[in-house]
Amino acid sequence: MVDTKVTLSGIELDNPVIPASGTFGFGYEFAELYDINMLGTFSFKGTTKEARFGNPTPRIAECPSGMINSVGLQNPGVEKVISEELPKLKKCFNKPVMANISGFSIDEYVYCCEKIDKEPQVGWLEVNVSCPNVHGGGMSFGVSPESAAEVTKAVKAVTTKPVYIKLSPNVTDIVSIAKACEEAGADGISMINTMLGMRINLNTKKPVIANKMGGFSGSAIMPVALRMVYQVYEAVNIPIIGMGGITTAKDVIEMMLAGATAVQIGAANLVEPFACKNIIEDLPRVMEKYNIKSLKDIIGGAH
């Protein structure tokens, strides 16, 4: 009998599989397909202070081994998430959920995190620092150690629950940013967010996506994500949630060997709604194949 349980900042998960923010809505849509209580947990749709319609369409482009999206954080705003989405979720999910928070200023991050931290359903806060900083010329908070640390410190001052900072791979040195977040009080790191990519339509000779560029995700980015998780694991002493191109139970094992305590599945959910269910069901077989008794024992095992 294998043991798939892992512990994320003091909260035990039945398995390390977590659908990634933006690919699983607020959960109840998937609950119509299968019992989502089989998941470790999930990270809900990126939430901002005000409601957002998102970017102009088209905002999805397919590519070999992946996809590009520029949805633009479409969400109903934090007040509505608390008053409408969480009560709906409660009817179909009885585990702590991960709240993904985005902001365009430090004040906005603080406002949203302080609000959502009070919700009993929320187990962890996942703070996305890949948003453009409106007061910093539009550069994302996650591109410099200083600004990432500033967000971390501000959010930690108003929250009681574990805070995971979600890092962008579109930087020269992700390790220094992860270390800065740890020093500022982060309880964990989520990595990686999407890479930057684009496609061009040969008929129109113009970019496919209205925004020209978007976030590239899917199985093609797994080696990059794996490398970054491996590097950050060597530099920090806080848990890592690894993500980027994971599509199989074998990928989960590989990401955990690189240093992830848990993993997130993103683009795979958009191609196959049962992706997470299939991975969870296949995990025990893959563990037995590679003679793994407990997943807790393999975290960082490749180092």
What's the burial of 139, exposed, middle or buried (CB within 10 Å: 0-12/13-18/19+)? exposed
Length of the chain: 303
DSSP 145-193: HHHHHHHHHHHHTT--S-EEEEPPS-SS-HHHHHHHHHHTT-SEEEE--
Round to the nearest angstrom and report the end-to-end CA distance of the chain: 26
SS3 for 203? coil
Q: Based on the residue annotation, tell me whether 181 is a catalytic residue of this protein.
A: no
Secondary element (H or E) of residue 214: strand 214-217
Helix (H, G, I), strand (E, B) or coil at 136: helix
Q: Which of 112, 113, 131, 181 is catalytic?
A: 131
Strand partners, 84: none
User: CA angle at residue 162 from 283 to 46, to 5 degrees?
Assistant: 75
Alpha carbon distance 153, 113 (integer Å): 12
**Residue 277 to residues 198, 222, 283, Cα–Cα distance (Å):** 30, 20, 10
Distance CA 110, CA 83 (A): 19
Q: Which position has the token pair 């790191």?
A: 189
Query: For residues 296 and 40, is the Cβ–Cβ distance under 8 A?
Result: no
Q: What's the CA gap between 178 and 145, in Å, rounded?
A: 8
Catalytic residue numbers read: 131
